[in-house]
Amino acid sequence: MENSFQQNKKSYTAHSAFVEIIQTLIIAFLVVIPIRIFIAQPFIVNGASMDPTFENGDYLIVDQLSYRFNEPERFDIVIFRYPKDTSKFFIKRIIGLPGETVSIREGLVSITPLAGDAFTLKDDYVEYSKIDEYDGTLKNDEYFVLGDNRAESSDSRIWGPLNEEFIIGKAFLKVFPLKEFEFKPGSVLEKI
């Protein structure tokens, strides 16, 4: 009788442990998946288009929530689906905002807002520039994005303005390499 009781106790304990594991997995699934889909997701930088701000292999956490409440701002570093192939993700810096006219002459970027005077960006964060030309006015749902490594970047100069619908979110944390952990990585003070 005692032997039967011990077997039932072991069976009940194993069953209880199994149920706890299933419950934990369900709770984790219900918590983690919505966070991953709607709030934040990981992103690994691939390529040199954002050197020196980000290097190949840097691990970032992308804030997907902010742009549900606020519009993207100039100098935000955004992760987006590449408009020519939405299975690919790109990372670039917002330079021009909806309605603005963007002009690039001899590597200098000038912005003409809807209201106000034209100005030239003081983009000191750009280490590798490129002498090129561009002129274009953005529609109400378009942004002009550039890589910080202008010489190696495929960006709005090449494939045109970025429609807002392709933006996933903005760089929120640089997690790896650990020695370079940073909150709001690549942020620049407004230099206009």
Residues with a catalytic annotation lie at 49, 92
Q: Supply φ then ψ for residue 49, to 5 degrees.
A: -70, -20
Q: Supply φ then ψ for residue 31, to 5 degrees.
A: -90, -50
Choose among 52, 148, 58: nearest CA to 95. 148
- Locate 72 and state its tokens: 């993207």
Q: Which helix (H) or strand (E) holds 5?
A: helix 2-34
